[in-house]
């Protein structure tokens, strides 16, 4: 009987719907037990977060604007077109190039590209598997540096940008090699 419920996903869906409320309940009970004024502490944190959000907003807005300009201007398509002969020779699917180019810049844009790859080729195709491994092997370096360094007022990022972009390049290359070996 339990197997039928597990297969239909009813129990898993029920548990996943309860996780966040249970965590909140645990925090409230823990705070009361430690004699912390839970509601007052929550209000203090909310007031502090408004200032932090206002300080992050200009950085976040600039990042969104920059990503939209890069994607909508056609510049990305032009640059990727220059690399077509090289990637064709190396048997790297051309459909993966937009994901590799956008992933260090924007997580949401790269998820949209990943979704497009899934829609066009399927998640179990070689391109879909490669895109999945690449999505998990890289990070949104420019977004992270812009947001976090900007939020604390760091103007000189020194080697963080180059280290992050090198790590992304290694992640992209490793995902291509690993996917070719395993699939």
Give the pLDDT of the chain (183 residues) as one tens digit per residue: 555 655 556 777 788 888 989 999 999 999 999 999 999 998 888 888 888 788 778 877 877 787 778 778 888 778 778 888 888 888 788 889 888 888 888 888 888 889 889 998 999 999 999 999 999 999 888 888 888 887 787 888 888 889 999 999 999 999 999 998 988
Phi and psi torsions of 135, nearest 5°:
-60, -40
Domain with 152, as residue range(s), is 57-182
Residue 157 confidence (pLDDT): 82
Residue 127 confidence (pLDDT): 93
In a domain, 4, yes or no: no
CB 76 within 8 A of CB 110: no
In a domain, 108, yes or no: yes
Q: How many CB atoms lie within 10 A of CB 69?
A: 10
Total number of domains constituting the chain: 1
In a domain, 46, yes or no: no
In the chain the first and final C-alpha atoms are separated, in Å, by 37
In a domain, 30, yes or no: no
Residue 169 confidence (pLDDT): 94
183 is written with which tokens? 């699939």
Kindly tell me the burial class for residue 161, based on how many C-beta atoms sit within 10 Å of its own C-beta (0-12, 13-18, 19 or more).
middle
In a domain, 91, yes or no: yes
In a domain, 15, yes or no: no
Strand ranges inside the chain, DSSP E: none
Residue 9 confidence (pLDDT): 66
Cα–Cα distance, 82 to 140 (Å, whole number): 23
CB 161 within 8 A of CB 145: yes
In a domain, 38, yes or no: no
pTM (2 decimals)? Answer: 0.62
In a domain, 169, yes or no: yes
**Crossing angle between the packed helical segments 38-72 and 75-82, to the nearest 10 degrees:** 60
Residue 30 confidence (pLDDT): 93
Cα–Cα distance, 8 to 4 (Å, whole number): 6
């Amino acid at each position: 009987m339990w197997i039928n419920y597990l297969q239909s996903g009813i129990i898993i869906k029920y548990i996943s719907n309860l996780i966040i409320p249970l965590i909140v309940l645990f925090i409230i009970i823990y705070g009361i037990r430690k004699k912390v004024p839970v509601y007052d502490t929550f209000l203090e944190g909310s007031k502090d977060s408004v200032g932090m959000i206002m300080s992050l907003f200009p950085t976040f807005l600039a990042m969104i604007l920059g990503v939209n300009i890069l994607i909508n201007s056609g510049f990305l398509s032009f640059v990727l077109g220059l690399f077509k002969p090289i990637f064709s020779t190396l048997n790297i699917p051309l459909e993966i190039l937009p994901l590799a180019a956008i992933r260090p810049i924007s997580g949401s844009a790269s998820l949209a590209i990943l979704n497009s790859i899934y829609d066009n080729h399927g998640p179990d195709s070689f391109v879909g598997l490669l895109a999945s491994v690449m999505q998990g092997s890289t990070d949104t370096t420019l977004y992270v540096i812009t947001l976090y360094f900007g939020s604390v007022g760091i103007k000189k990022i020194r080697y963080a940008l180059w280290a992050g972009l090198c790590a992304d390049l290694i992640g992209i290359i490793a995902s291509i090699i690993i996917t070719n070996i395993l699939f």
